[in-house]
Every structure is written in C-alpha cells, then in structure tokens.
Structure 1
C-alpha cells in the first residue's frame, strides 16, 4: 500500500487535470483507444473509478452508467476507498485476484488512458516514471489475460530499447506515435 498510494494519487491527479482540460467541442474526437472517442473515454474513466471504489470494499464489479462529467470527484472517492488498509487485504471476490493486483489495474488504466486523453485533445502529459515502471511490469504479467478479455489490442512493435512508456503502450496495442 505504501508504495502504490502515491502512484495512484499522482496518476489520478494527472488524469483529473486532463479531464478538466477537455473542451466541450473535443468530446467527439477520436482517441488512440479505437473503441472510444473522448466522451466515451472519460465515461470509461468514470466507470473505472466507481468500480474501484466497490472493489476496494470487496464489492462487485459495477455496471457502466452514462457520461456524467465528474471523473475528478469519482477519482477522489477511489483514493479515499483505497487509503483504508483493509482495502489491500485478501482477494477481490469480483476479480479473483489479490487486492494489490487489483490496485495495479487501476494504476495502469489511469496511466494509459491519461495518455489516450492527452493525445486526443492535444494536452501535455508526463506520467510519473515510477507509475510507468509499475504499470509495465504488471501489464507484462497480465497481457495474455488482458487480450483474452478484450482490454488490450494486438501488440504494436516498438524497439526493445524504447522508453518504458512506449513499451507499455505497444504492449497493450497502442502506437506511441499516434496522432489525431
């Protein structure tokens, strides 16, 4: 918990800042995540935040609701839920994995979708290097399951000596050179 909370907190802040920077006319723009335009991507982030509040309490996966435009508030509730030590104990009944692994899912989602949102809307984005390293190591372990579940696309080839963030993006099916 001690090493993950600062990463989750800062990644939530960065992604919240990006969401706040989206203008109404940008909501229909394409993103590097082919199944989402900007509005759908923010809605996905809202759902993820709500779901991870439930997961922190060992609750069920939640259904995605309609776009609400309140991701920063939801992310705050997620961080509050995960700040409780018991959130990190045991296994998630809904996900079937240890709670620290569940927290890594949230972190990776924020890191990658923050990039998606920044690229789509022309905003600057610099994820924490430690968050990238954690997300890459976790994703390398989970990539096969992620592809089976449709969460990751086919890999995009990047050089072996590419920066860790480019390797993370390529691993989950994003082209690090994507432009709108």
Structure 2
C-alpha cells in the first residue's frame, strides 16, 4: 500500500500543478487521448478522481458532470480516502476488482492523462523511475482486461531500449512520439 500511495501522491501533485498552469486559451487543443481535447480531458480527470474516491469506499460510479475546474480539490479528497488502510482491503463491489488494482488504475489514469495534457500543451511531465516501472508492470498485467473494457487502446510498439515511461505508455495505447 505505502509505495503505491506514495506514487499516487506524487502523480496527483504533478498532475494538479500541470492542470493549474493550463489556461482557458489551451482548452480546445487536441490531446493524445483522441476522444478528448484539453478541457474534456481535465473534466475526465475531475470525474476519475471522484470515481476512485468512491470506489475506495465501496461506492459506485458517480455521474459525469461538466468541467468545474476543481481537479486539485477532488484529487486531494481522493488521496485522503486512499490514505486510510481500509481503502486497500477487499474487492470493489462496483468493479469486482481488488482495491489495490483500483489504486493502480488511479495511478495509471493520473500519469497517462498528466502526460496527455503535457504533450497537448507543450509542457513536460516526468515521473520517478520507480513509478514508471510500476506502471509498466501494471499495464502489461492489465492490458487484456484494459483493452476489453475500453480503458486502454491498441498497443503502440515502443522499442525496448526506450525510457520506461514511454514503454508503459505504449502498452496502454499511447504513442510516446505524439505531437499536436
């Protein structure tokens, strides 16, 4: 639990900082996540933070609402719930997956979409090597289920000598060379 929680906190901090830097003039920019422009992707991140907060407490799927601009507050609430030991116990009633898997899904969402936003807006997004390695291992393990459930796209081939984060992104369907 502690390693993943530490990685969640770090990814949430980086993604929150990035979201706070993005101006309204950048909202219409395309992202590597083809279904979303920048504003829609931030909206998705807001919803995902609320979702993972709910799932950690054995709740269900919250409705997706319009962009509110409160991602940093939502992700802090999510982190507060994951800081409780009981949030890591058992299986999610709504998703049928172990809570530790849900925490790794939240981490993947924060990093992948943080990277998406950085690419779309010409900023950088870095994660620690241990976080990238954890994401790569999780992505490889969950790829078939992730693709089946529509969470991951088709794998993008990335050379084995590429940075670990690039390889993790490729597994979940991102092209590390994407440019707007």
Say yes or no: does 1:154 pair with 2:157: no
1:3 maps to which residue?
3
Does structure 2 retain, via aligned residues, the 8 Å contact 1:111–1:131?
no
TM-score by length of 2: 0.97
Distance in structure 1 (CA, Å) of the matches to 2:171 and 2:55:
26
Say yes or no: does 1:93 pair with 2:93: yes
1:123 maps to which residue?
123
1:20 maps to which residue?
20
Structure 1 residue 104: Cα displacement: 0.3
Distance in structure 1 (CA, Å) of the matches to 2:173 and 2:89:
31
Q: Which runs of 5 or more structure 1 residues have no equivalent in the other structure?
A: none
TM-score by length of 1: 0.97
Distance in structure 1 (CA, Å) of the matches to 2:91 and 2:32:
32
Say yes or no: does 1:74 pair with 2:40: no
Structure 1 residue 96: Cα displacement: 0.6
2:32 maps to which residue?
32
Q: Which 4+ residue blocks in structure 1 deviate beyond 4 angstroms?
A: none
Structure 1 residue 110: Cα displacement: 0.6
Query: How many aligned residue pairs are there?
Result: 180
2:2 match: secondary structure:
coil
1:93 match: secondary structure:
coil
Say yes or no: does 1:133 pair with 2:133: yes
Distance in structure 2 (CA, Å) of the matches to 1:63 and 1:128:
33
Structure 1 residue 161: Cα displacement: 2.0
Q: Which runs of 5 or more structure 2 residues have no equivalent in the other structure?
A: none
1:174 maps to which residue?
174
Spell out, residue by residue over 1:128-162, the C-alpha distance to the aligned partner (whole angstroms, 9 max, x if none): 22221111111111101111111111111111222
Distance in structure 2 (CA, Å) of the matches to 1:98 and 1:148:
18
Distance in structure 2 (CA, Å) of the matches to 1:15 and 1:64:
20
1:74 match: secondary structure:
helix
Does structure 2 retain, via aligned residues, the 8 Å contact 1:11–1:128?
no
